Amino acid sequence: MTKPVGQKRQKNQIYYPSAFSLTHQLSNRFTMGISVFNPFGLGNDWGKKWEGRYLATNSELLTFNINPNIAWKVSDRLAVAGGLDFLYLDATLEKNINFSTYGLPDGKQKFEGDGDGFGYNLGLVYHLNEDWSFGASYRSKITVDTEGDGKFRLPQNTPALLRSYFPNTDGSVDVELPAQLFFGLCYKGIDKLTVELGGRWEGWSRYEKLAFKFDQPIAGSRSSVFEKNWNNVMSYSVEAKYDVNDTLAILAGYRFEDNPVPGDTFEPAVLSLSRKY
């Protein structure tokens, strides 16, 4: 086992996940709605000088999911719903290039791209009795066809022949996002108190590699493939809400999320760890 050579803290960053939803009741049994939210995202800024700068210096990924749905109240106990997912993705990946062999300082590489993909979702809620209800939903996998450009900043005195190996060029990459299965149990048997137990499965095992394709060859190749081989994971949560009055509620909860990234393909661009909060 390789021992770590040191520790590095990334720069503090603040991100604001957003969510918006709107519903309209069509009849006693049918309701339509639309929601917009950020299902996936990441942001890491390690700076330009750290030991892993040839792997990653800055990484950002932002997604927006536009999700129209329609729900059907089958009976007083059962309701089902279905909808479409239109997902937009915007990504930036930066790292340094090691030119020390040529007696030069580091170069810089930056890929910026965006793309979209489509999926679907299904859900149901079943009321076991007045106190207990059960819910489950499924979101399909989505492949996002991402197109963008790779840009290079090379040291000022880089020889022309070496510079020709790193042209600015357009490129593309397919980003594989996982299917998700959500399930939960809700209890309302105590006045003003709601308790929920939930779980989520994510099918990250389909994320086997990240394969970039470039219009012009970079360092002699038109493609660059990074092995991922992520794992399927589970997360669990317990939440409680107490209604103090009609306008004020107190919420508390605990969540555990497992880490999909295996040790042999761990990378600083995607700082994914098991989390408890």
Confidence of residue 13 (pLDDT cuts 50, 70, 90): low
Cα angle, residue 264 at apex, residues 51 and 15 outer, rounded to 5°:
60
Is the pLDDT score of 101 beyond 60? yes
DSSP string covering 217-233: EETTEEEEEEE-----E
pTM, whole model, 2 decimals?
0.84
Q: How far apart are CA 62 and CA 70, in angstroms?
A: 26
For the chain, give the mean pLDDT. 90
Cβ pair 215, 171 in contact under 8 A: yes
pLDDT in tens, 222-233: 999 989 999 999
The identity of residue 13, as a single letter, is Q
Task: Give a yes or no: residue 62 inside a domain.
Answer: yes
Q: Is residue 11 part of a domain?
A: no
Q: What 3-state DSSP class applies to 163?
A: helix
Which domain, by its residues, includes 190?
Answer: 22-276
What pLDDT, on a 0 to 100 scale, did the predictor assign at position 83?
A: 98
Assigned domain for 3 exists: no
Predicted confidence (pLDDT) per residue in 167-208, tens digit: 999 999 999 999 999 999 999 999 999 999 999 999 999 999
Asked if residue 80 belongs to a domain, the reply is: yes
Domain for residue 158, yes or no? yes
197-220 pLDDT, tens digit per residue, is 999 999 999 999 999 999 999 988
pLDDT reported for residue 73: 97
**Count of domains in the chain?**
1
CA 223 to chain centre: 24
Residue 72 lies in a domain: yes
In the predicted structure, residue 9 carries a pLDDT above the cut 90? no
Q: Does any domain span residue 221?
A: yes
Q: Which amino acid is at 263?
A: G
**Maximum Cα interatomic distance, the chain, rounded to a whole number of Å:** 76
pLDDT tens-digit map of 113-168 = 999 999 999 999 999 999 999 999 999 999 999 999 999 999 999 999 999 999 99
Q: Is residue 235 part of a domain?
A: yes
What is the C-alpha to C-alpha distance for residues 194 and 113, in angstroms, rounded to an integer?
Answer: 43
Task: Read off the CATH number of the domain in which 41 is found.
Answer: 2.40.160.60
